[in-house]
A = this chain, B = another copy of it.
Amino acid sequence: MTNFSHYEINRRLRELAAHPIDLKAALTPERIAHFSAKALGFSLLFGTERIDDEILASLLQLAKEAKVMEKMKAMQSGGRLNRIDGFPSENRSVLHTAMRDVFEQRQCGEEAKKATDLALGELHKLERFLRDIDDRFTDVIQIGIGGSDLGPKALCLALEAYYLPGRRVHFISNVDPDDAAAVLEKVNLAKTLVVVVSKSGSTLETLTNEELVRHRMKKEGLEPKKHCVAVTGKGSPMDDPEKYLESFYIWDFVGGRYSATSMVGGVSLGFVLGFRGFKEILQGAHEMDVHAQQAEPRHNLPLLSALLGIWNRNFLKLPTVAIIPYSQALHRFPAHLQQLDMESNGKRIDKSGHSVDFSTGPVIWGEPGTNGQHSFYQLIHQGTDIVPLEFIGFTHCQYTQDLEIQHTTSQEKLLSNLFAQAIALAVGQESDNPNQYFPGNRPSRILLGSKLTPHTLGALLAYYEHKVAFQGFVWNINSFDQEGVQLGKKLANEVLTLFQKKRTKGEGHFKLGEAYLRFL
C-alpha cells in the first residue's frame, strides 16, 4: 500500500495549497450552492472551505488512489482491517456497522452476516428484557468509561425530548469516588436499574464504581442482583448469572468508541426511549452506512468531510478542528467525537508499522453554538492560529416550545447566527482600527439536518464514524486499535503499589512515583 506522502496527487495538492483560494473575494451565493451535497435529509455546505474545483477534484483523486471506497466496503463486509502487518497486533474485523445492519439491504460478507445474527440475538433479548422489567425502574445508571460512556451519554443527552415519561438516565465513569457519590445523591436505588459495561469485564474504573454502587445497595437493604445487568464479552468475569439480572453481549469486532449502537448504548437508550426509539437510531445509522459505502464520492457526505479535513490538516497544516453543534441537545456530542477521532487517528505508525512522515488525526474539541460565540470565538476570529470549524445545525427544534420574539423565533435566531458565523469567518472585515480588522479566510463547513430525532442522530453518529474511518483509509493507518493507552495503565498499577504499601523499595518508575507521593 502506497504511503500517503507518495500518492501521485499528493504533490499537486501541495502545490495548490501554496496559493489557496481567497474566500474574501470568492464567496458568492453561487459558490455556496455549488459546493454542497445532499443525502438522507442532510446538506453538507462547504463553500466556506478554502477549496476550488481543481482542489476538490484532486482530493477525490486522492480518495481514489487510496482506494477508500474499496476499504469501506471491505470494512462493512467483515475484512480484517484492525491489524498492523508484520508485528504482533490485534487482528480483527471492524463490524460496528453490522450492529445496525438489521433492516433491508443486508451485507453479504460471511463475517458481517454472522455479526448481524449475533446483534439480532441481543436486540431480541433487549426487547424482551425491556418488556419484562415493565415499570419496575424509573432510573438507569450506566457504569462504564471511555467508549462505554461517552457515546451512550452523548446520545442519551441529545434525545431527552423523546424520553418515555418519568424515565431518567445517569452515568458514572470516573474512578474519582465523587463521581459515583454525586450520582447516588440523586437517585432512589430501589427504583434504579444499573447497567455495568466492560467488554473485558476487568476495567478498573468500572469495577470499582460497580462495587461502590453495590455496597450502597446492600446498605439500603436492596439485592444488587435484582438491579444490575452486565454488558460484556461472553465468558468474561462479568458474564455471571449469579451476579446479574441479565448479560448482554459485545464482541471484539466492535471497538469501544464505535459501540454506541451495540448493547453498550442499547440498554440505556432502550430504557429511556423505548425499544422502538433505539431501533430508530439503528435505522438512521444503517442508512448512513449504506450511503458511505454506495454513494458516489462527489456526493458522499462522510467522504467529502474526511477529504476536506485532510485538506485542512495535511495541506493547509491546521492542527485542530472545532466541532460546533448549533443545538444544545448535542452538548456532549463533541466529547464523543473527540474520543472517536483522536483515539482512532491519533497514530504515529502506518499499517505496516512504519513511522509516518505526515500529520495524522488533529486535536478535536468543541462546545455548542451560540454559546461558543460568547466564549472562544474571539480566538477563532482574531487569534494568531487558524481553527477550521465543523458546524452542525438543524432547521427545526426538538421541543415545540419556541416563541416569536421581535418577529423571529429562537430557532431562526439560532440559524441566523450559524450562517452568519460561516460568512463572517470566510469574508472577515476591513477596518482602519486594527482591533476591528478581521482577517477572514478562516475555513468552516456546515452539516445541516432537518430535526434532531433518534433517526437523524443515528445518521449523524455514523457520518462521523465513517468520516474518521475514511481519513484513516487515506492515511493508511489503523483507526481501530489503541495501543497508546496501555503505558499509562501499566505505570498506574506500579504507582498503586505504593499506596498498597506492598513494596518499600524499587527502582525506575517506582522511585518517580514516590517523589510525587511526598507532595500529598
Contact = CB atoms under 8 A, between A and B. Distances in A.
A435 B399 contact: no
Q: Is the interface of A mostly helix, strand, loop or mixed?
A: helix
A499 B326 contact: no
A22 B512 CA distance: 16
Nearest to A432: B87
B417 A175 contact: yes
B161 A429 contact: no
Contacts of A149: 371, 374
A386 B446 CA distance: 28
A513 interface: yes
Nearest to A376: B342
Interface in A208-235: 208-209, 211-212, 215
Interface in A466-495: 481-495
B429 A212 contact: no
A146 interface: yes
Contact of A215 (B361, B403, B490): B403
A401 interface: yes
Given A174-B368, A367-B338, A484-B382, A491 B420 contact: yes
Most buried by B among A484, A502, A509: A484
A350 to B, nearest CB: 9
A369 B173 CA distance: 10
Nearest to A362: B385
A515 B33 contact: yes
A519 B482 CA distance: 39
A356 interface: yes
A516 B346 contact: no
Q: Which 4 A-B pairs have the closest CB atoms?
A: A346-B379, A146-B374, A181-B399, A29-B515
24 contacts: A28-B515, A145-B371, A146-B375, A160-B182, A176-B326, A176-B370, A181-B397, A182-B329, A208-B410, A208-B413, A211-B405, A256-B374, A335-B367, A342-B383, A344-B378, A353-B433, A373-B489, A383-B484, A413-B496, A416-B492, A419-B495, A424-B487, A424-B490, A429-B487
